[in-house]
Structure 1
Amino acid sequence: MLAPIGPSFFLYQQVSDQLAAESIAMQGLRAAMLQPEAGWQEELGRHLPLLAQSWGKSLGLADLSCGECGPGDLVTLEVRVGDAVAIQTAGIEPE
């Protein structure tokens, strides 16, 4: 009777981590990009731990890359929760 519970719990944990990672990456990057130009990177650093806490998860990695982070560049955020990895990309609008 206990044998099926182990794999089911592991699968639930994986799905939960993946959903959390996707949500944290998407909502964190979205919230940061809606901020005034000068403060969006700091805003991202403030939002990610709050989003992870709302999911009851521990944020393993948050990696931001955007080249020069200027108008027209792409911003990519990679978030890791447990073994799950989510990547979100947004563009910085040209002036």
Structure 2
Amino acid sequence: MANTPQAKKRIRRNDRRAEINGARVSRIRTFIKAVESALASGNKTDAAEALRKAQPELARGVARGVVHKNTASRKISRLSKRVAALS
């Protein structure tokens, strides 16, 4: 258990940040799921539109530090490849 005032404050701050970061990751996952569901339906225009909306969300996650740069790049690349394969 934390004893110093600074350690107690750090625990409070960590809890707040974890909540915010969790919400950000959840939002990113939602956008990715939208792309995957559009891919599953086979509609290329919907999938391309969903991907167009998901890309800035992933980039924002990288900028905020909740997603690693290479992870976001890999996800965008794989989703783009799957969208391009629909035709």
TM-score (norm 1): 0.44
Which one has the bigger helix percentage?
2
Structure with larger Rg: 2
